[in-house]
């Protein structure tokens, strides 16, 4: 094959495709023999005609919904599986950090497992001998290295696995949801380690559902959808597109949860929604403490005397951070056939993370004489919809709600501290 | 262009994938490069298997030993084969037979059994069945030591014939390795192979001269057993302890089987090496 060699860390993919055969079940001999006669099997392109060119030292985030082909792409990049179409050329050694702790056997000691796992990742005995102490030190399990791994905590297990994988001198590092490893201290250690690797020119390809992490670590983003490359460019744009994909998906199938409010009709249809920042432009990302204005375009098919909006903020895990019905502050009456934009301003006292705002429109009772009457009469007049957004909160605050505690009278700001330290350098 | 995967000058390895498979020579080279992985996996396998057992590695000898005792007791009541040192005769054969059957039994399903390894990182899949063959060899070596001791106690002192054990082991090693490679590849596609192996071993046991001498057979059964590829190494093993004649045709049969199975294994693995993971 007359092919020019690529430098270590470079990746070239041309028309890359991977087709899977959908088996109902594992094929058996009988099926195999029958199939030779009349072969009709369902086929599925998990990855279709993808072009990709990555230079040494780049950090690329691969995003996409479940089943978009991310994992297939990683499997191809580390050579676990071969392409069905197109061509893939990778220069240098690939370390798949998807294979953390692969081959760890519970009966074997940490030491023995380091050798087994390291060999699977392609290290020679001599290399392992040389780097053994470094690996153990990184994993922080020195005291238990001669204990069978079955007595390890899951954190120790992961740390040792990560340590081995991180010490394979690779030109390309593949990361799959990896940084959820261990406690915060260890995560920071991993991130620092990766930063060092990148300085030495290691290429990083990252797949994660944690968009924040990818945005921090990568400058380039690739969005896959249905096995095809939808976008390849700056990570911030990729993240925006990814959010649109996930948001539209959750809008379409947002299940109506049984609430305390009956869904009467679709008389107050929601036409469109926008999340707008204080400067007036539409956004998906907000800083913690900023106010998001949610603009909801509604169309009334009958006259609505006391229209209101109901909102809920949901965390990434789906738990309700906050919920309120706007029934005690209705908007002016809507005439039949009228279209109008209703808005809510929400101060985002939230920490860093992905959130969704769920919203629906309804009507209250303008003639109610008490709060109880009002609540009893309210009705939901649109289906519930959701919009995803993300918050970059204060770096020192954890949890979901940023209560902005004052330490000695001051709300902490790590960025200012960083800046002042930099100045004093 | 059917397939390609190549490695360029030492410093920067290149991975080039474009459908098809891996060229046979390239696959052999890669497998050779992964030999230390092979040995480490074999050792792990051997070690793990007996670690929790009270008798530990003694089981590797106890099982074929028990089989030899049972067979010699039962068979000497049913038929008089007139074989001197009958128990030693059986033991010497079953030690090598146990090697073959455990290599095939464990190695034949090894690619599927190690799915957690092979679906997450790449190494030539041939490493897994080969590791099973190497792991079985450790047990065999332990068995061989006990065999020599038992033979000496029984009055069959080892002499220069013992050297025949070396070609016996090498030949059986090659045969089981190639057969295991073929089974392991097929097993990924057809899970029935597991049961085919069980059935095969059951029948095969009786057409191999383990508890009867080849000289007692005549006609078609003699031909069948003589041409059985497992017969050559087993007869060599008998001869190494008790002396005796090894028909050249049996050794040739084993060699022919090794060549045919070797080619089949190479073709299967070079075509499917990168596709196994899709079915795990």
In this prediction, residue A386 carries a pLDDT of 83
Give contacts of B4 with chain A, Cβ < 8 Å.
1
In this prediction, residue A29 carries a pLDDT of 59
- Comparing A338 with A317, the larger pLDDT belongs to A338
pLDDT greater than 50 at residue B96:
yes
In this prediction, residue A98 carries a pLDDT of 66
Please compute the mean of the pLDDT values over residues B54-75 and round it to a whole number: 79
Q: How far are the Cα atoms of A251, A275, A321 from residue A255, in angstroms, in the given order?
A: 9, 21, 18
- Comparing A300 with B280, the larger pLDDT belongs to A300
In this prediction, residue A248 carries a pLDDT of 59
Q: How far are the Cα atoms of A60, A63, A209, A223, B112 from residue A52, in angstroms, in the given order?
A: 11, 14, 21, 12, 32
- In A, minimum Cα distance to B121 occurs at A80
**Tens-digit pLDDT profile for residues A220-271:** 999 998 888 999 998 878 887 887 777 655 444 333 333 334 455 678 888 8
In this prediction, residue A255 carries a pLDDT of 37
- In B, minimum Cα distance to A120 occurs at B37
Give contacts of B40 with chain A, Cβ < 8 Å.
115-116, 119, 125
In this prediction, residue A99 carries a pLDDT of 59
Q: Are A321 and A384 in contact (CB under 8 A)?
A: no
CB contact under 8 A, B15 and A79: yes
Say which range, A14-23, A32-41, B172-181, has the weakest mean pLDDT. A32-41
Q: Counting Cβ atoms within 10 Å, is residue A372 exposed (0-12), middle (13-18) or buried (19+)? A: exposed
Residue A55 structure tokens: 């230079």
CB contact under 8 A, A20 and B44: no
Residues A413, A316, A232, B275: is their CA dihedral positive or negative? Answer: positive
Q: What are phi and psi of B50, to 5 degrees?
A: -110, 0
**Count of beta carbons in the 10 Å neighbourhood of residue A320:** 11
Q: A277: number of CA atoms within 13 Å, CB side?
A: 14
- In B, minimum Cα distance to A82 occurs at B274
Residue B15 structure tokens: 């991975």
Give contacts of A129 with chain B, Cβ < 8 Å.
none
Dist CA A419 CA B271 (whole Å): 58
In this prediction, residue A375 carries a pLDDT of 62
Please compute the mean of the pLDDT values over residues A380-401 and round it to a whole number: 84
Residue A5 structure tokens: 């060699």
Band of the pLDDT at A212, cuts 50, 70, 90?
low
In this prediction, residue A306 carries a pLDDT of 87
Say which range, A216-220, A363-367, A411-415, has the weakest mean pLDDT. A363-367
> Which residues are CB-neighbours of B137 under 8 A, at least 6 positions away?
B42, B99, B169, B173
Band of the pLDDT at B255, cuts 50, 70, 90?
very high
Q: B155: number of CA atoms within 13 Å, CB side?
A: 4
Dist CA A208 CA A238 (whole Å): 13
Counted across chains A and B, CB pairs separated by less than 8 A come out at: 129
Q: Counting Cβ atoms within 10 Å, is residue A6 exposed (0-12), middle (13-18) or buried (19+)? A: buried
**Count of beta carbons in the 10 Å neighbourhood of residue B139:** 23
B47, B119, B190: residue with CB nearest A32: B190
CB contact under 8 A, A3 and B16: yes
- Comparing A106 with A129, the larger pLDDT belongs to A129
Q: Is A9 left (phi over 0), alpha (psi -120 to 50) or beta?
A: left
Q: How far are the Cα atoms of B57, B132, B150, B211, B216 from residue B136, in angstroms, in the given order?
A: 12, 6, 21, 22, 31
- In B, minimum Cα distance to A75 occurs at B120
Q: Are A108 and A148 in contact (CB under 8 A)?
A: yes
CB contact under 8 A, A107 and B13: no
Please compute the mean of the pLDDT values over residues B7-33 and round it to a whole number: 76
Give contacts of A86 with chain B, Cβ < 8 Å.
18-19
Give how far B198 is from chain A: nearest CA, Å.
15
Task: Please tell me whether residue A269 adopts helix, strand or coil conformation.
Answer: strand
- Strand-pairing partners, residue A354, are A390
User: Which of A132, A112, A148 has its CA nearest to residue B40?
Assistant: A112
User: Which of B188, B203, B176 has its CA nearest to residue B105?
Assistant: B176
- Strand-pairing partners, residue A345, are A293
Dist CA A29 CA A296 (whole Å): 59
CB contact under 8 A, B18 and A93: no
H/E stretch holding B206 reads helix B193-206
CB contact under 8 A, A80 and B275: no
In this prediction, residue B261 carries a pLDDT of 96
Average pLDDT, chain B: 86
Dist CA A279 CA A285 (whole Å): 13
In this prediction, residue A259 carries a pLDDT of 39
**Count of beta carbons in the 10 Å neighbourhood of residue B109:** 22
User: Which of A273, A251, A282 has its CA nearest to residue A344?
Assistant: A273
CB contact under 8 A, B12 and A115: no
CB contact under 8 A, B47 and A108: yes
A87, A103, A171: residue with CB nearest B117: A103
Residue A413 structure tokens: 């700001």
Q: Counting Cβ atoms within 10 Å, is residue B205 exposed (0-12), middle (13-18) or buried (19+)? A: middle
Band of the pLDDT at B198, cuts 50, 70, 90?
very high
CB contact under 8 A, B190 and A20: no
**Tens-digit pLDDT profile for residues A341-374:** 999 999 999 998 889 898 888 888 777 766 666 6
Give contacts of A30 with chain B, Cβ < 8 Å.
192
Please compute the mean of the pLDDT values over residues A108-112 and round it to a whole number: 89
Give contacts of B13 with chain A, Cβ < 8 Å.
92-93
Please compute the mean of the pLDDT values over residues A72-86 and round it to a whole number: 88
CB contact under 8 A, B15 and A94: yes
CB contact under 8 A, A107 and B275: no
Residue A173 structure tokens: 């590092």
Give contacts of B118 with chain A, Cβ < 8 Å.
80
DSSP A138-153: HHT-GGGTTSBGGGS-
B4, B9, B274: residue with CB nearest A1: B4
Give contacts of A79 with chain B, Cβ < 8 Å.
15, 17, 122, 274
Band of the pLDDT at A185, cuts 50, 70, 90?
confident
pLDDT greater than 50 at residue B45:
yes
pTM for this entry: 0.71
Give how far B14 is from chain A: nearest CA, Å.
5
């Amino acid at each position: 094959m007359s092919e020019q060699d690529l430098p270590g860390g470079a990746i070239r993919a041309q028309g890359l495709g991977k087709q899977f055969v959908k088996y109902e079940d594992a094929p058996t001999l009988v099926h195999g023999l029958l199939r030779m006669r009349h072969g009709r099997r369902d086929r599925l392109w998990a990855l279709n005609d993808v072009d990709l060119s990555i230079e040494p030292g780049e950090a690329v985030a691969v995003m996409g919904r479940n089943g978009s082909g991310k994992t297939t792409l990683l499997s191809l990049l580390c050579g676990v599986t071969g392409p069905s179409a197109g061509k893939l050329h990778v220069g240098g050694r690939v370390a798949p950090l998807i294979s953390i702790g692969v081959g760890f056997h519970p009966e074997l000691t940490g030491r023995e497992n380091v050798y087994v796992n390291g060999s699977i990742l392609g290290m020679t005995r001599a290399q392992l001998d040389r780097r053994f102490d470094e690996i153990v030190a990184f994993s922080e399990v020195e005291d238990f290295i001669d204990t069978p791994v079955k007595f390890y905590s899951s954190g120790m297990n992961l740390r040792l696995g990560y340590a081995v994988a991180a010490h394979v001198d690779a030109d390309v590092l593949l990361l799959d949801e990896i940084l959820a490893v261990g406690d915060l201290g260890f995560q920071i250690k991993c991130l620092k380690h990766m930063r060092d690797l990148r300085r030495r020119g290691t290429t990083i390809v990252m797949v994660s559902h944690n968009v924040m992490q990818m945005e921090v670590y990568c400058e380039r983003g690739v969005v896959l959808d249905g096995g095809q490359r939808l976008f390849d460019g700056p990570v911030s744009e990729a993240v925006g597109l990814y959010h649109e994909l996930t948001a539209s998906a959750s809008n379409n199938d947002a299940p109506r949860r049984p609430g305390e409010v009956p869904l009467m009709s679709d008389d107050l249809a929601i036409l469109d929604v926008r999340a707008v920042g204080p400067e007036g432009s539409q956004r998906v990302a907000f800083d913690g403490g900023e106010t998001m204005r949610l603009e909801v375009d509604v169309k009334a098919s009958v006259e609505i005397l006391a229209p209101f909006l109901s909102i809920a903020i949901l965390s990434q895990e789906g738990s309700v951070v906050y919920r309120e019905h706007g029934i005690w502050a209705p908007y002016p009456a809507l005439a039949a056939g009228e279209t109008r934009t209703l808005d809510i301003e929400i101060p985002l006292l939230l920490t860093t993370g992905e959130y969704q705002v769920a919203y629906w429109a309804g009507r209250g009772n303008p003639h109610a004489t008490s709060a109880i009457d009002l609540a009893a009469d309210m009705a939901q007049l649109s289906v519930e919809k959701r919009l995803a957004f993300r918050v970059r909160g204060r770096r020192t605050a954890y949890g979901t709600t940023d209560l902005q505690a004052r330490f000695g009278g001051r709300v902490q700001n790590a960025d200012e501290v960083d800046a002042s330290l930099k100045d004093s350098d | 262009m059917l397939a390609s995967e190549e490695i360029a000058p030492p410093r920067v390895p290149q991975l080039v994938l474009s459908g098809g498979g891996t060229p046979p020579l390239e696959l052999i080279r890669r497998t050779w490069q992964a030999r230390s992985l092979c040995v480490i996996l074999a050792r792990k396998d051997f070690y793990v298997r007996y670690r929790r057992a009270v008798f530990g590695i003694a089981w590797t000898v106890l099982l074929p030993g028990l089989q030899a005792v049972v067979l010699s007791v039962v068979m000497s009541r049913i038929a008089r084969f007139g074989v001197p040192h009958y128990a030693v005769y059986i033991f010497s054969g079953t030690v090598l037979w146990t090697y073959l059957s455990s290599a095939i039994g464990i190695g034949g399903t090894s690619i599927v059994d190690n799915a957690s390894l092979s679906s997450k990182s790449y190494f030539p899949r041939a490493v897994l069945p080969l590791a099973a063959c190497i792991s079985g060899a450790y047990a065999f070596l332990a068995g061989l030591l006990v065999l020599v001791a038992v033979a000496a106690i029984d009055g069959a002192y080892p002499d220069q014939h013992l050297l025949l054990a070396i070609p016996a082991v090498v030949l059986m090693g090659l045969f089981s390795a190639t057969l295991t490679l073929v089974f392991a590849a097929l097993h990924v596609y057809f899970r029935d192979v597991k049961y085919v192996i069980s059935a095969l071993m059951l029948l095969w046991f009786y057409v191999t001269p383990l508890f009867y001498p080849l000289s007692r057979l005549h006609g078609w059964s003699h031909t069948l057993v003589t041409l059985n590829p497992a017969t050559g190494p087993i007869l060599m093993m008998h001869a190494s302890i008790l002396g005796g004649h090894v028909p050249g045709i049996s050794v040739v049969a084993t060699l022919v089987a090794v060549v045919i199975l070797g080619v089949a294994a190479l073709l299967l693995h070079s075509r499917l090496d990168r596709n196994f993971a899709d079915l795990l």
